[in-house]
Amino acid sequence: MKNLLVLILLLSMLISCNKSDDIKETDIQVNNKTDNIPKNANGIHILIDTEKQNKINEEAKAKAEAEERDKILAEAEQKAQDDAKLKAEQKAQDDAKAKELNAKISIDKFELKYSDLWKIEKKTATHIELKSLSGTFDFEITKTHTSDLVPFTTYLINNNKEYNQISKKVSNKYIGYISEGEYSDGSMGKIVTMAVKDRGIIIISILSNRKKWYLNSEIFDLMLDSLKINPE
């Protein structure tokens, strides 16, 4: 009988312990579920109705989407800036290469430098024609007497009906004139007339695609500066 009482007592204690553990486990689960519920300044959970909670969720979603859009736009803008920079750098390199006068050509007693990006299209005893993808360069010995420089230049410019002169100036390096103008097809050009003793009047000209005029005009000036007149 005494043993039976002891057994009942032990069984009661065991049941009591199990209930206590169940209560603790339940408390932990409840606490975990309530961690996501907003709290006030005192740490007390605030109950929010479904409509308000949905609004909070929508605002959070909209904010996240806006941040993502801003990120995409910022990346696209940065890429555009990087691409523009690379394009500008490449253009500068191409222009610099185009202005390298790394070839020479001679006609009569004249010699000038040009870029090997320009190809010799025609060469005779009195005429040179060079071509590139965007322009044509001509050098011609006319044999017209040097004393006729002024009327010759006037006739040459005025009788070219497709050429509209924009500016004209006297050269400070040689006896002659430099005319710059626009052709009826939209092309740009320069015409130089030069009086050379014992050789007559020389015509040096360039015809260029308008989009490349900024470059070809400079190349023409460099070629003109490189011109040498060798002694007999």
C-alpha to C-alpha distance for 133 and 118, rounded to whole angstroms: 8
Sequence spans of domains, the chain: 1-37, 50-98, 101-229
Q: Give the model's confidence band at 220: pLDDT under 50 very low, under 70 low, under 90 confident, else very high.
A: very high
At which residue do the structure tokens 């097809």 appear? 185
pLDDT band at 30 (very low <50, low <70, confident <90, very high): very low
pLDDT of residue 14: 58
> Which of the residue ranges 25-29, 34-38, 40-44, 161-165 would you say has the lowest mean pLDDT?
25-29
- pLDDT at position 50 is 83
pLDDT reported for residue 41: 59
pLDDT of residue 140: 97
**Residue 9 confidence (pLDDT):** 60
The rounded distance, in Å, linking the Cα atoms of 134 and 214 is 11
- Token pair listed for 190: 């320069």
Determine the Cα–Cα distance for residues 195 and 201; give it in Å rounded to an integer: 5
Look over the chain and give the mean of its residue pLDDT values, rounded to a whole number.
Answer: 85
Residue 39's pLDDT is 59
The pLDDT score that the predictor gives to residue 28 is 45
How many Å apart are CA 90 and CA 116, to the nearest integer? 19
Give the H or E element holding residue 179: strand 176-183
* Nearest-angstrom CA–CA distance, 211 and 177: 25
pLDDT at residue 123 in the model = 96
d(CA 183, CA 161): 9
Report whether pLDDT(3) > 70: no
Query: Is the domain covering 101-229 a CATH 3.40.1000.10 domain?
Result: yes
Average pLDDT over residues 175-188: 96
Average pLDDT over residues 169-189: 94
pLDDT value for 58: 86
What is the per-residue pLDDT across 105-117, written as a single tens digit (0 to 9) for each? 999 999 999 999 9
What are the phi and psi torsion angles at 89 (to 5°)? -65, -40
> Can you give the pLDDT at residue 94?
85
The pLDDT tens digits for 84-107 are 988 888 888 888 899 999 999 999
Sheet holding 103-107, edge to edge: 103-107, 110-114, 228-229
